[in-house]
Chain A
Amino acid sequence: EAGVAQSPRYKIIEKRQSVAFWCNPISGHATLYWYQQILGQGPKLLIQFQNNGVVDDSQLPKDRFSAERLKGVDSTLKIQPAKLEDSAVYLCASSLEPVPPTGYTFGSGTRLTVV
């Protein structure tokens, strides 16, 4: 079974620029999550999708962050405009059901550096 694919692996941008990350979940996984992991901290949930609908985006900074999951498969996370404090690893995860312990697989992440 292929894992969760994320691209790019690394991205360096200047503050106030825009950036987008892409995630392809495991085939058949209905639930998709985006996490932000700042250096030295654990992952923090940004948004959770069930198929193509948003289940939880309470911690997504909606003034600059947006995410979509068209057709309920791939997802993109966008930041516009980026700030220095957005430097982090952005992890995508997917699961068959919205219950993490039954198969919650993370991708390798995209490391964003904002300068």
Chain B
Amino acid sequence: ETGVTQSPTHLIKTRGQQVTLRCSSQSGHNTVSWYQQALGQGPQFIFQYYREEENGRGNFPPRFSGLQFPNYSSELNVNALELDDSALYLCASSQPGTVNSPLHFGNGTRLTVT
């Protein structure tokens, strides 16, 4: 069983640019959630995708958007990057409906905005 994989592992972008982060969910999982973890802070929920539709969103502006594909992999897109977007972005997959289904996290993408 493959776990959650994220790419790239590290990324450096300039303020105002756009970025796309990718996530492959764990085999058999149809739900993907994205979290932003600023340095020294706990992760914050960005949004969740279930069967290719957004299924809940945290307190993030519209320039944070996402996609989920038929194979349940997902992308996080951030437009008009700001310095405060520098963080570790974590993807987590799960299988709702399974008793006490936990979230399985990837190792994250470290984004630095200069």
| A-B interaction | no
List residues of B whose CB falls within 8 A of some A CB: none
